[in-house]
């Protein structure tokens, strides 16, 4: 059980950006999705979240065996799917701490979205923010307004941890991070797995995967799955490049 993508084809405007893609992300595992620029990694994440403009033309997406295709994005989020976006949007007028509290309240059925019901939430926010190297002052700032690239990435990870999703889709959580940041982020991603979450980890490079070993690696090229394997595949990609890997796997 977990997340299943089954023979999924997705169109953006008139372009087919995913072609017959299948993959499974089980609970307690990390599934890395690699691929060059424009191969469809973010489109896959958006299609799973039901983002407008990413039209599923065939196939299915299932959470715990049930199709989620008919659900709105917010309903998918309430069911426990979280996406840490590649380029997180700025949300002027909303504090980061308020966003997190409102999301937690919405899920628990609380109507007063900004009410702090449990003081532990505030403590947890500070502890986790410090742990991942995010200055806790940023919790009081408007979401991503003036955040540096690395701060945005850390802010997305903070939410992935605090919102306790079942499925965490992290789109290049390592981009723009310094080496200490990468190690720290890797540690927390490993922790998500240890706590039984299903993690889809989108990344270009094997660098992050040195610090957090994925259970499964899927490689996309031009919207198609060209290879699947264990963590060794990530290093093969780094060593040989995507086209070479495609030839190797096609020949296999
Ligand atoms: N909203 C959109 N409008 C137009 N084209 C899009 C849109 N979203 C995706 N595409 C196109 O779909 C293809 C796949 O894009 P996608 O963002 O999924 O790639 P990616 O693998 O995430 O790349 P990167 O590594 O650069 O983040 C690209 O050719 C891109 O231009
Ligand atoms: Mg992308």
Domain boundary assignment for the chain: 2-251
Q: Identify the pLDDT of residue 205.
A: 84
pLDDT in tens, 212-235: 999 999 999 999 999 999 999 999
Contact assessment for residue 134 and residue 151, using Cβ atoms and an 8 Å cutoff: yes
How far, in Å, CA of 47 to CA of 9, rounded?
Answer: 10
Q: Which two tokens stand for residue 151?
A: 């701060």
Nearest ligand to residue 43 Cα: 1
Is the Cβ atom of 39 under 6 angstroms away from ligand 1?
yes
CA distance 71 to 67: 9
**How many whole angstroms from 113 Cα to the centroid of ligand 2?**
31
Determine whether the shortest distance from the Cβ of 144 to ligand 1 is under 6 A.
no
Rounded distance between C-alpha atoms, residue 189 and residue 212, angstroms: 7
pLDDT value of position 252: 54
| Residue 227 in tokens | 């290879």
Query: Mind listing the pLDDT tens digit for each residue in 12-37?
Result: 999 999 999 999 999 999 999 999 99
- The CATH superfamily label for domain 2-251 reads P-loop containing nucleotide triphosphate hydrolases (3.40.50.300)
Q: What pLDDT score was predicted for residue 132?
A: 93
38 lines ligand 1 (CB under 6 A): yes
Ranges in the chain, pLDDT < 70: 251-252
Contacts of 118 (CB under 8 A, 6+ apart): none
């Amino acid at each position: 059980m977990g997340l299943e993508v089954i023979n999924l084809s997705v169109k953006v405007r008139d372009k087919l950006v995913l072609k017959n893609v299948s993959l499974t992300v089980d609970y307690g595992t990390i599934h890395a999705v690699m691929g060059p620029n424009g191969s469809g990694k973010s489109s896959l994440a958006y299609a799973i979240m039901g983002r407008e403009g990413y039209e599923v033309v065939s196939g299915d997406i299932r959470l715990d065996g049930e199709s989620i295709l008919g659900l709105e994005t917010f309903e998918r989020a309430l069911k426990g799917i979280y996406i840490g976006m590649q380029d997180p949007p700025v949300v002027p007028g909303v504090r980061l701490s308020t966003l997190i509290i409102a999301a937690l309240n919405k899920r628990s059925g609380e109507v007063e979205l900004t009410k702090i019901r449990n003081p532990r939430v505030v403590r947890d926010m500070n502890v986790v923010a410090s742990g991942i190297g995010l200055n806790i002052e940023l919790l009081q700032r408007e979401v991503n307004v003036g955040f540096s690239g690395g701060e945005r990435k850390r802010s997305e990870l903070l939410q992935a941890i605090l919102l306790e999703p079942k499925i965490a889709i992290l789109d290049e959580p390592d981009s723009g991070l310094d080496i200490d940041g990468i190690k720290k982020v890797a540690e927390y991603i490993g922790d998500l797995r240890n706590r039984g979450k299903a993690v889809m980890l989108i990344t270009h490079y094997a660098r992050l995967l040195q610090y957090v070993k994925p259970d499964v690696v899927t490689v996309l090229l031009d919207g198609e799955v060209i290879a699947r394997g264990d963590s060794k595949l990530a290093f093969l990609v780094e060593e040989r490049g995507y086209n070479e890997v495609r030839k190797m796997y096609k020949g296999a």
